[in-house]
Structure 1
């Protein structure tokens, strides 16, 4: 303890400990640069009696050491300081503000030259990083992961970088077009119609916009089929229009939408707009393309009202008699590929909507059923596959399953008023 005190004491402390005559010369100001000199001098004064009682040889050694300290810029204070002196110059931000580095910071900053070069190029304070190397040292993977995470950016820079990347992606996507194909000798070339070009652009845009996911359910339509057969003739006489399966499906969908309003929503930037009215789009295939007329406020209509509206819109669509507002404002679309015999498809969402329901062919198939006592038997049932495509940006898979399961429950129960 005495030796450590002698070694670390500045020249001012040696002057107090030396014998009376002759007094040593006043040391230069550079000999006591540390802010702790006042505290060390006070402690030296408290131990003056102990130091003065040492043999003259010990005092001479002390005086010689202090003279050497005066000639040098500073003495070596402690083991930790010697480590810091041997360490390479601090990197950008390491041990900044003129303070001494902690042992933990020293471990982090004592990284490989490659890591230090990367830190210097990117202006990174290595002491901020949590190293995974030996003794907590920062490795190449640590600093590269830190850079890639964007944590080194300010919030404004991160937002700007994200927006720039998004804009660049948006600009690059529309420019990516299929290679131009050249017709061979006897190939027939036909220019796309205006409708076909619009359909093509709209479908590609939808795939780029929405995160498409499709779920498929098999639904027993036997009770609906029986209900339809029972009322088909009377319905035709009363309403002047035919009764198909679609009005029942439309009504089941509107009831389910009221329970799960996210399916009647739209995405606007970072906001979700929940539409008040349920406007059902119904895809109609034409000889020259596809069109989606809209049944406005479909949830206010009865089975007969839905049937009249659907048949009227379909007829006028095929005769090119639809008005512009009759093909706008849809909030949910139902398409029926089953009319051509398809079991099911994976329909593309009709933007800016967030879901579309595809109805497959309704046909009789064998189905395993059970009696109330639990005995299994095989029955012939009218079955159909329903495929729901939804936008996974705002609709979770669980919600999609619940929605379609509820539609299944309503249709299989067959509790509709015709």
Structure 2
């Protein structure tokens, strides 16, 4: 039930085919005769076998002679002429080739075709490789003992054709030069802390020493969101007068999820021993200003659409960098978002501000291969826009399961990307 090639055990020329194509042969039967180039078909050696069997018949009558005469001297003489009188004298020299055969006929014959690694290669395979310009030394055999089969050569030839047909890779772009970093004039100096730096430091120390803080991290696929943004940003800017960055989408998702998970939008009143769950989503936006970190607040973010959030974010960020923030702009936050990804951070373990239960960190958006479930292809690999969301929270109020549920809700909103109506698409 197996159709396979069987290489000849020795090199030489095919002198005789004993079993023809499509004939059935017994196990161990002679299939063909192989000899040295120029040798005659070895059919003659089969005839001496018959005289060899007749010779004992000639000796049989001589066996009775010793019984009649004690001297057996003439008896040995009778067998001597027997080979001379044997029929088919021309076949008598046939035994002569039998003697040199065990000697060293193999060296006289041409060497068996082999690959460069010494493995045996059949003439058919070598011819096929030559016709297809396949280097046998580069082909890995799949036959017994690593033997190269014709299927291996065909596969190598097809692979070479496919490689030749493939477009040549574009020249790699010149590597971007590393930015030249200038030495800061602050090196080697001791300066007085600014009031802003002191306030930031005091607030961070107070938060860390008054809360049981830890962080949960979750990965989000924002590919659909980024496509929608790219499609709408030109028309959005013309219509609303502000640029459409990814930030309003994160603020919108965070605010919607806070409505379903009020424990994240809450505060512990330590003196009274109570918890306040806020009915408004006032989200602080951490801004990297020249004087230091500032956190203006988008009041009622849960009631704003994408356009409203984008306009308010641009207004407050402009004030923060221009020094125009008022105390009202900086107060009343019930939850905070920090976008350290805008500066390239993969994710961050942000510190929960005082009088809040949690803060959301947004990591850098990275395009990379991801396994996805395609409706038609099933599990497949695709390049996606991925980002990490990290939620730091006060474990006195928020449990790990609460944090995970909130992050999962934010993830679902962002990955669904159902913002077409708000974007006018």
Q: TM-score, normalised by structure 2?
A: 0.54
Structure 1 residue 371: deviation in Å?
Answer: 2.7
Trace 1:63-142 onto structure 2 (pairs within 5 A): none
Specify which of 346, 352, 355 is matched with residue 355 of structure 2: 352
Trace 1:197-236 onto structure 2 (pairs within 5 A): 197-236=198-237
Specify which of 293, 296, 318 is matched with residue 296 of structure 2: 293
Matching of residue 261 in structure 1 with residue 262 in structure 2: yes
Structure-1 residue corresponding to 2:246 = 245
Structure-1 residue corresponding to 2:194 = 193
Alpha-carbon distance in 2 for matches of 1:326, 1:235? 26
Alpha-carbon distance in 2 for matches of 1:373, 1:238? 38
Secondary structure of the corresponding residue to residue 367 of structure 2:
strand
Structure-2 residue corresponding to 1:51 = none
Structure-1 residue corresponding to 2:19 = none
Matching of residue 327 in structure 1 with residue 330 in structure 2: yes
Specify which of 360, 369, 387 is matched with residue 366 of structure 1: 369
Alpha-carbon distance in 2 for matches of 1:261, 1:370? 32
Structure 1 residue 322: deviation in Å?
Answer: 0.8
Task: Describe the superposition over 1:99-129 as per-residue Cα deviations: whole angstroms up to 9, x where unpaired.
Answer: xxxxxxxxxxxxxxxxxxxxxxxxxxxxxxx
Matching of residue 336 in structure 1 with residue 330 in structure 2: no
Alpha-carbon distance in 1 for matches of 2:324, 2:236? 26
Structure 1 residue 375: deviation in Å?
Answer: 3.4
Secondary structure of the corresponding residue to residue 263 of structure 2:
helix
Task: Describe the superposition over 1:196-244 as per-residue Cα deviations: whole angstroms up to 9, x where unpaired.
Answer: 0010111011001111110001100101101101100010011000001
Alpha-carbon distance in 1 for matches of 2:299, 2:375? 42
Structure 1 residue 374: deviation in Å?
Answer: 6.8
Structure 1 stretches of 4+ with a deviation exceeding 2 A read 370-376
Structure-1 residue corresponding to 2:81 = none
Task: Describe the superposition over 1:294-327 as per-residue Cα deviations: whole angstroms up to 9, x where unpaired.
Answer: 0001111110000000011001110000111000
Secondary structure of the corresponding residue to residue 264 of structure 2:
helix
> Which one has the largest radius of gyration?
2
**Which has the larger helix fraction?**
1
Q: TM-score, normalised by structure 1?
A: 0.55
Number of aligned positions between the proteins: 233
Alpha-carbon distance in 1 for matches of 2:325, 2:188? 36
Structure 1 residue 187: deviation in Å?
Answer: 3.5
Secondary structure of the corresponding residue to residue 263 of structure 1:
coil
Structure 1 residue 276: deviation in Å?
Answer: 1.7
Matching of residue 412 in structure 1 with residue 415 in structure 2: yes
Specify which of 272, 275, 279 is matched with residue 278 of structure 2: 275
Secondary structure of the corresponding residue to residue 216 of structure 2:
strand
Structure 1 residue 370: deviation in Å?
Answer: 2.4
Contiguous gaps of at least 5 residues in structure 1: 1-185
Structure-1 residue corresponding to 2:58 = none
RMSD: 1.2
